[in-house]
Amino acid sequence: MKRETLFKYARENFNSEPEYLWKNLPSYAVLRHDDGNKWFAILMNVPGTKLGLETDDEIDVLEVKGRPEYIGSLRQKEGILPAYHMNKEHWISIPLSGALSCKEIYEFLIESHELTS
């Protein structure tokens, strides 16, 4: 999945535009609820090694909130990693170029949106 595909989905389904909050991290984008407050996702480009992967290449990774009771088992699934930026007990990282389908990524985005409402 590409960044713009994800952003288009967020725009059409949640009325959310990516916000670039950090001058020193110009590719990091947050997605907020349309009331402008809470984040429901953050998209970052980070070296794979910072995520425990065996590559120094920067990859696009989406962080979304999950149900705490499922986080441990979700991390066992291919294509899901512990949160890089957010609280590891409540958030997961999903490499956009990983094993998950677009449909699966959208389902995690929807759940994160609901959990952060």
Q: Convert the pLDDT of each residue in 4-37 to its tens digit.
A: 999 999 999 999 999 999 999 999 999 999 887 8
b/e sequence 7-17, b meaning 16+ C-beta within 10 Å: bebbeeebebe
Tally the domains of the chain: 1
At residue 89, the pLDDT reads 81
At residue 73, the pLDDT reads 79
At 37-63, the pLDDT tens digits run 899 999 999 988 888 888 889 999 999
At residue 96, the pLDDT reads 94
Q: What is the pTM of this model?
A: 0.90
Domain coverage including residue 26:
3-115
Q: Residue 109's domain is classified under what CATH number?
A: 3.90.1150.30
Say which residues have a Cβ less than 8 Å from residue 7's Cβ, sequence separation at least 6. Answer: 17, 18, 29
